[in-house]
A and B are shown apart, each in its own frame.
Chain A
Amino acid sequence: MEEVDRILIHALKQVGTEVAEETLSVKQFSSELIVQAVVRCIRVIDPGLGSALPTSLPPGMSARFRVGMSLAQACQDIGYKGEIGYQTFLYSNEPEIRSLLMFLVEKLPRESAEASDQPTGKSVVLQRAIAAAIRAQLVVPWLPPNCRLPLHTETQSPGALHSFHVQPLSLPHCTKGPGKNQLKVSCFTQAPLVLKMKVNDYQRDILPPVTAQPSHHASVVASILEQHMAELSAAQEWDSEWNSQGLLSRLTPQDYCSRKLSRLRKRIEEQLRSAALPPAESAFWGPRSTSDLSEILQAFRGSAPSEHILTKGTHFTHTRKFTFTQQQAAAGTSTSIPAGHQSESDIQLRQQDEQLSLQEHFQQLCSDVEQLTTDMKHMSVTNAQVLDELKQRDLGNSENKDKMQVKKKTIDLLPDTDNNMLKLQALVEASAKRVVNLASQWEKHRAPLIDEHRRLKEICSNQDLESSRKLSEIKSLHDKIRVSTEEAKKKEEIYKQLVTELENLPQDASRSAYTQRILEIVSNIKKQKEEITKILSDTKELQKEINSLTGKLDRTFAVTDELVFKDAKKDESVRKSYKYLAALHENCNQLIQTIEDTGTILREIRDLEEQIETENVSKTVANLERIQDDYKAIRQENSALAAKVREG
């Protein structure tokens, strides 16, 4: 009971009831306290109902009566099924109050349910903290700069902004830092172990910590973020590339990296080589200074669509070219201006002369060019003819050579035609047979080799299938690993969060007390149940025995009675003994009856005693006295009111 009361008091305190520290059980609740507690509970459960009810009993009796009625009504509205009326509050008794308070406390909405609905996770906690901080800052009113307290300058003035500058950092265990490059460069000169020690010394003694490395303090955060992002993204990229292409290529990671490196180097070399050639050829034809850059850039563009940087470059050089030519034209016109000081006719004559000579020169050049073109055409045609002739003659030569050889051999054989013919035929047949023989021998060697080749190829392709299947299995395993690590991480976070929440929970009215009590009660009930069953079985046994004994008794008496009665007619002593037997039987029956009655009466006594106990608890006598007093008080009030009415 104490624990129940403690829980009730704790819950009521949470609702807002002012319970004094000494009250430890519901028995000690006064009517005032009861009313306060109930009203506060109702206010929490159902604000609509609760707002109409006062938290304290008014002094007047009828008012108190009314308040009691309304409270009882409210409790019934909420759903209390037990017997409730104004007397529960004004003339309370412990069991009723306890059950009512328990019902109300159970009805209280669970605040903790809100917290458990929100998603767990470190980032959510962080976000909630950020949201709370921003909310708090927004609540603070804006003040003009002169009125600001130092507390507000951080959040209300713009002076604290810094731009995002990044500087490279040097970390001891990073994958891409100057440390590793140094290692590569000087590994040709010193032993790697010595160098590693030196690098470690440098990192331990001389290298400043990360927060001191950037030149500007404001760049520390930015630099660290950048470094971390770069490392993380590089690791992720490598992971994804390795999982997709690297595993497929079936090489070790180092082999794969080295092969990729050589491939990229080759491509770069090719691009540079192909880009280097065209500008060299076309450099003769255009003005050097301005179009070199644009041509090189155009060559680099190649067949791929150009990037914006390159087009900007060419636009820039184009505009430069235009301005350059304009300047040239301007320069040209400026040089011709000083000559205008001399007389006009001289100038005209000289100009005409110049024009004529230039025209002659031009015509000469044109005719030269024409002549050259016709010569070239003629040359090309004759060249083609000559080449053609040469080719034909070559072919003719080789054909004739072959023919000549055949004819020579024939001539040698001519003298003895028939014999030689026969010999030749035999020779031809023999060599044909020999060739066929050789071919069959070769076939004996070749066929097994080809079969072997095909068989091995089949095995190879089967193995390829196997390995690709295993590769896909490995991939799926990788995925599973990834998923499981993520889940494990999540669960770790949830666990940490729950641990912190648990620590933050209020320590009083701990759950362990509840659970322990419940377990104790359960074990007690179990024991009692056992005992009850034992008693029941004992009782059953006894009852059975009683029944059997009674039956035996009856039968024995019947037999004895008959036996004795038979002899009683003849003998006097037998008659006396029969009378004694009957009396004995009668007395024993009475004794048994008395014992049974005693038992029943004892049970009744026990029941009555229990009733007296329960009635004593509900302090009926005190309540009756109070009711009588209150009744007298109400009568007095009524008479007072009646008098007032009569007067006024």
Chain B
Amino acid sequence: MAATEAQFMLSVGLIEKDVNGDTLWVWCFPSVGSDLRQVLLSKCCLTQEGRDFHTFVFGQFCRTWYYVTTVEVQEPTALHKVTHFSIVVTAKDFNPEKYAALSRILCRTYIKHGSPVKMMEAYVTVLTQGICQSDENGSFLIKDYDVRKAYLAGSVKDVVSQFGMETVILYTALMLKKRIIVHHPRIEALLEFTRVLPTLTWHRKDWSVLHPYVHLTDTEIEDLKKCPGYVAGFVDPEVSNRSDLFDVYVNLRDSVITVSQSAKESMAMGKLHKDIGRLIVQSAEDAERSDSQVIKDISVKTKEILANLVALADKCEDSKITLQGLKQHHFPPATENFLFHLAAAEQLLRI
């Protein structure tokens, strides 16, 4: 429904870079807390000296999704003394395409009128009515942007083609709610890659574990540590030294996946994993199948495993699994280990 979806939008902010080289947070509606403001300023590429210009970045902080669109001011414009500006939209939901489109409209309004009031009008219309007139032909409708489309926007096939059988490590880590850190010097590559990973656990449809753009600052690391399992993307190569922050480290540029020492035991893989891996690779290599079909294949396999687990749980008292219960079935040790940890992740383990 348009109404409830519009409730997801939290605020809109404006960051400007002027001819003196200062980057300032000049305006926001309704309000943005100072912590979040600091984080947003650091994410905006205008504060990072001399680096590249990123048109659109998004990320998560304190369970709030932020979407930053940056534009260079060009003539003709009503803005004086402003060379670049960024519009930051914060919301509760994950939908980059929707907010990118909205931000584009807001940017164009701002450039044309030079005052945030007009921009705010458009924002308020979207907030109250879910629709807004855009300069281009047509209008922006919230209901055009379904969340499922956002979830499926990435390409699983690319991930599998880059990592091959090692994709099963990522699958295992996600299933067991482990901490994955991905590193790539370019933020766009990070965003593209990390948003696909939660599709491997389609049965959860949980994108709140995704933190695609994190810096190594205290506030952000604190926030990250609050989540038991996450997929975090870092541009800073220093993160490879922070072994306290990850169980699986993915060097995206060199296509290398490393499992940290502390997690090696829980991530031990056996025949079951080999099967899953083969299935994933086969499905992705099939040119006939689309991305969503690949995801569906993976989720079918996952459901199968989970169904087995639930069946095992039902056999025990109060439908909770115990380690002893698992041991009775004499699974191979890797599978037993995996099922044990999976039960914990799916909250089927007796405490």
Contacts and interface: CB of A to CB of B under 8 A. Distances in A.
Chains A and B come from one and the same complex: yes
Interface of A: 377-378, 381-382, 384-389, 391, 428-429, 432, 435-436, 439-440, 443, 446-447, 450-451, 453-454, 457-458, 461
A381 B349 contact: yes
Contacts of A453: 24
Interface stretch (B48-56, B162-170, B269-277, B338-346): B338-346
A428 B22 CA distance: 38
7 contacts: A385-B344, A429-B128, A432-B125, A435-B124, A439-B117, A446-B27, A458-B20
B323 interface: yes
Nearest to B63: A395
B203 interface: no
Interface in B306-347: 323, 340-341, 344-345, 347
Contacts of B266: 381
A381 B341 CA distance: 7
Given A384-B177, A436-B120, A458-B20, 20 more contacts: A378-B323, A381-B340, A381-B344, A382-B349, A384-B228, A384-B344, A385-B349, A385-B351, A388-B177, A388-B228, A389-B347, A432-B128, A435-B124, A439-B120, A443-B117, A446-B27, A450-B24, A450-B26, A454-B81, A457-B18
A426 B310 CA distance: 52
Nearest to B92: A399
A451 to B, nearest CB: 8
B344 A382 contact: yes
Contacts of A443: 115-117
A458 to B, nearest CB: 6
The secondary structure that dominates the A interface is: helix
Contacts of A432: 124-125, 128
Given A387-B228, A439-B29, A439-B120, A454 B18 contact: yes
Contact of A388 (B120, B340, B347): B347
A386 B351 contact: yes
Contacts of A451: 81
A453 B117 CA distance: 20
Interface in B74-97: 81
B20 A457 contact: yes
Contacts of A377: 265
A458 B20 CA distance: 6
Interface in B209-260: 228-229
A432 B177 CA distance: 43
Contacts of B128: 428-429, 432
B287 interface: no
Contact of A385 (B24, B117, B345): B345
Interface string B105-135: 0000000000111001100110010000000
3 interchain residue pairs of minimum CB distance: A385-B344, A457-B20, A381-B344
A453 B29 CA distance: 21
A447 B16 CA distance: 13
A13 B14 CA distance: 102
Contacts of B229: 388
Contacts of A382: 344, 349, 351
Contact of B347 (A385, A447, A450): A385
Nearest to B208: A395
A447 B349 contact: no
Q: Place the interface of chain B in its size category.
A: 20 to 34
Contacts of A435: 29, 120, 124
A422 to B, nearest CB: 15
A443 B113 CA distance: 13
B13 to A, nearest CB: 13
Nearest to B18: A454
B294 to A, nearest CB: 28
Contacts of A385: 344-345, 347, 349, 351
B117 to A, nearest CB: 5
Contacts of B349: 381-382, 385
Contact of B345 (A388, A428, A446, A458): A388
A385 B323 CA distance: 14
B244 to A, nearest CB: 15
A435 B122 CA distance: 12
Contacts of A387: 228
A386 B350 CA distance: 10
B116 A439 contact: yes
Query: Which of B19, B26, B340, B344 counts the most A-chain CB atoms under 10 A from its CB?
Result: B344
Query: Which of B177, B340, B351 counts the most A-chain CB atoms under 10 A from its CB?
Result: B351
Contacts of A388: 177, 228-229, 345, 347
Contact of B228 (A378, A391, A436): A391
B325 to A, nearest CB: 13
Nearest to B116: A443
A385 B340 CA distance: 11
Contacts of B81: 451, 454
A417 to B, nearest CB: 15
Contacts of B265: 377
Contacts of B27: 446
A465 to B, nearest CB: 12
Contacts of A391: 228
A112 B265 CA distance: 98
Contacts of A454: 18-20, 22, 81
Contacts of B26: 446, 450
Given A439-B117, A443-B117, A457 B22 contact: yes
A31 B18 CA distance: 104
Nearest to B30: A435
Contacts of A439: 29, 116-117, 120
B321 to A, nearest CB: 11
Nearest to B16: A450
A458 B21 CA distance: 10
Contact of A436 (B117, B345, B351): B117
B78 to A, nearest CB: 11
B302 to A, nearest CB: 18
Contacts of B177: 384, 388
Nearest to A392: B347
Contacts of B228: 384, 387-388, 391
Given A384-B228, A386-B351, A388-B228, A436 B124 contact: yes
